[in-house]
Chains A and B, each alone.
Chain A
Amino acid sequence: MLFPTLAFGVFFLFVYFTSWSLDRENGRRKVFLLLASWFFYAQWDWRFVGLLILSAVLNWGVAALIARNDNATQRKWLVALGVLVNLLILGFFKYYGFFIEQMADLLTQVGWERDLPLLQVVLPVGISFFTFQGISYVVDVHRRTAEPADSLLDVMLLMSFFPQLVAGPIIRASDLLPQFARSPRLTREAATLGLLLIVWGLFKKTIVASELSVNLVDPVFFDPSAYGAFDIAAAVYGYAVQIYCDFSAYSDMAIGTGLLLGYSFPRNFDQPYRASSMQQFWRRWHISLSSWLRDYLYVPLGGGKKGLWSSSLNVMITMLLGGLWHGAAWTFVAWGALHGGVQVIERLGRAAFGGRKVIPTAVGVLVTFHIVCLGWILFRAETFELAWAMLEGLGRMGPLAVTTPFMLGLIVIGLGMHWLPPRAAEGLALRLKAAPSLTLGLLVGAAFLLVEAMRPDGVAPFIYFQF
């Protein structure tokens, strides 16, 4: 069940009315939301609802043991166990095939060819997100930065709550558990913002991302040799816009849906292509993942405490593993290496120039954007050969085949979004919250109609579902 579908609209209306009719009974409301979330998840594959429950029970149990234990050594062992179990679940479902193939190749190269047990493991949707959520919960309880949940129900709902279940944002226990502890409150401002974010997300996903994907990006990345430099460049820029509009649309709709149900999620995107350095880019792109990697990987590795070279190494390791998180393929590792390498160069540069600003902001934005685009080629191409063919094609002239005025317009719109006033949706919500319900309803209805009338039939799954 995808967000921009009629089925989800009907499902959401049912959940909205039922959950608010239970608002005086917070416990029953949470049970209902949990059942609704499991139903939502079961639409992909009902078998993995069991995995979701198992993962929640494991994390709840380990966190409860940690919270009740005062022995520092035992607490360390317990948190290590919790993290290990989560990584084993993630590793089996997501990386088993990849590692077995790599192992088989390695053994063949050293002359010890073996028949390794290959399995066709189906990847549960959103597994990367809910296992990272589980890890953060266990670690936060160990660090005492989050209170253990009052009940198993809260942990289950934390890990299964349908708006953020399949593609984030990765919401931490310290953000959501306190909200589960009391009956939620729906304000006009939150409701208005929620509706605006849903409409905005719908526009970005169903029009900008879908049109660019079907008519420009997919054909060019399928066979770059058939296109000239302009089409290939447009496809690369188009993919930069597509992946932003696709993923940030999901986050917007998740945050909007959460707000309408009375829960607040953290921001996940903040106009990332305005970044004037790679470090800044990662403060604006998929913020919940980058802050997760910082707190649970970069900092435990030592962070920046031991000097420039140590911090550079830690950044590199973090970005490599961050790349691998996105998918079990060497192209993702290379993508992580590119991002990590540029960040290391930036650190060295800052150290060499004593922190002085030597590159103008506009140049920094332009350079960072093009490095990010270079990374998107690796990210989108399934093989290095395909990525190389894309780069080669940038030097080959040819007629415009798939780049149309409409596609260029969508690219301009997608990039232009980054120069809207920051927090524009929040500002608009503040103005509209005073409107009568009929006026706002008609305005939002007209915006929905505009998007619905333009969108192509059908909708592709969100890109980040595969991660």
Chain B
Amino acid sequence: MADHPDDPKDPRDPQDPVDPFPTDFPQPPPSRFPPVGQEIMPPVETPASPPADPVDPPSDWNAGADAHDLPLDTKRPSRLKVLGQMAFPPPPPADEEVLAARDRRWTTRVILVVAVFMLVFNGASIQNWARQQAPNWFTVTVQQVADVWMTQVSQLGADRPRQAIRDAYQDAHDARFPGQDPA
């Protein structure tokens, strides 16, 4: 780069000074939507892009652009959303492994919800199971824990749905045809 006016010029250096505000604009294309009364011009064919020029173009003016081609969706995202995205940028798209782990966690949560649901509403099954086992330290312990658990959940009324279903089922089970011997 030349630092002094007397220094020999380097031919590779751009012309000095560089005009930051070029005025030599090419003629803009005629609009396809002229004022009323003027003749409609055919759309301008954008010329094929010229071969890459090592020198910077004089300006960023795009001769092929037309304001009417701009997207109409001018709705701006809410400021809160923009702010939120600045504060918490969205993560990059998840890869296969992350998706698999997400699905596994989802399944595990479903299974845990089912297990807890059954523990609350179907605790009688554990009680029944423990009563049917041969008594030993483990089964007796399970039975005692199940008894306490059932006492507690029945105070909340959690055993009622099961009992209601069972009663309705038993009624259907015991129904007989007219004239048939009862169960």
Interface residues, chain A, with chain B CB atoms under 8 Å away: 5-7, 13, 16-17, 20, 23, 185-188, 191, 195, 211, 260, 399-401, 403-406, 409, 437-438, 440-442, 444-446, 448-450, 452-454, 457-458
Contact = CB atoms under 8 A, between A and B. Distances in A.
Contacts of A454: 165-166, 169
A406 B126 CA distance: 28
Interface in B114-130: 114-115, 117-118, 121-122, 125-126, 128-129
Contact of A452 (B118, B175, B177): B118
A185 B100 contact: yes
A458 B128 CA distance: 10
B31 interface: no
B104 interface: yes
B106 interface: yes
Nearest to A454: B169
Interface string B98-116: 0010011011111111110
B176 interface: yes
Nearest to B170: A454
Contact of A446 (B109, B117, B166, B169): B117
7 contacts: A5-B129, A7-B129, A191-B103, A401-B181, A437-B113, A440-B113, A448-B117
Contacts of B169: 453-454
Interface of B: 100, 103-104, 106-115, 117-118, 121-122, 125-126, 128-129, 132, 161-163, 165-166, 169, 172-177, 180-181, 183
Contacts of A457: 128, 132
Given A438-B113, A445-B114, A454-B165, A191 B107 contact: yes
A94 B100 CA distance: 44
B107 A453 contact: no
Contact of B117 (A16, A23, A441): A441
Contacts of A188: 103, 106-107
Given A20-B104, A405-B175, A452-B125, A441 B180 contact: no
Contacts of B172: 405-406, 409
A5 B125 CA distance: 10
B121 A260 contact: no
A441 B122 contact: no
A454 B166 CA distance: 5
Nearest to A407: B173
B7 to A, nearest CB: 65
A437 B106 contact: yes
Main secondary structure of the interface of B (DSSP, over half): helix
A17 B111 CA distance: 10
B177 A444 contact: no
- The secondary structure that dominates the A interface is helix
A264 to B, nearest CB: 15
B103 A186 contact: yes
A20 B112 CA distance: 14
Contacts of B114: 195, 441, 444-445, 448
A438 B115 CA distance: 12
A185 B129 CA distance: 34
Given A13-B115, A185-B100, A441-B117, A452 B122 contact: yes
Contacts of B118: 445, 448-449, 452
Contacts of B181: 401
Nearest to B171: A406
Contacts of A441: 109-114, 117
Contacts of A187: 100, 103
A255 to B, nearest CB: 16
Contacts of A260: 107, 111
Given A188-B106, A449-B165, A13 B111 contact: yes
B138 to A, nearest CB: 12
A453 B162 CA distance: 5
Contacts of B115: 13
Contacts of B106: 188, 191, 437
A411 to B, nearest CB: 14
Chain A CB within 10 Å — which of B173, B175, B180 has the most? B173
A236 B11 CA distance: 104
A442 B104 contact: no
A440 B110 CA distance: 6
Given A191-B106, A440-B113, 10 more contacts: A13-B111, A186-B103, A187-B100, A260-B107, A403-B177, A405-B172, A441-B117, A445-B113, A449-B122, A457-B132
A342 B39 CA distance: 86
Nearest to A408: B177
Given A437-B106, A441-B112, A448-B118, A404 B177 contact: yes
A200 B110 CA distance: 17
B66 to A, nearest CB: 43
Contacts of A405: 172, 175-177
B117 A449 contact: yes
A256 B105 CA distance: 18
A438 B122 contact: no
A5 to B, nearest CB: 8
A412 to B, nearest CB: 13
Top 3 A-B residue pairs of the complex, sorted by shortest distance between their CB atoms: A441-B113, A445-B117, A437-B109
Nearest to A435: B110
Given A400-B180, A404-B180, A457-B128, A444 B110 contact: yes
Nearest to B167: A453
Contact of B121 (A185, A195, A399, A445): A445
B120 to A, nearest CB: 9
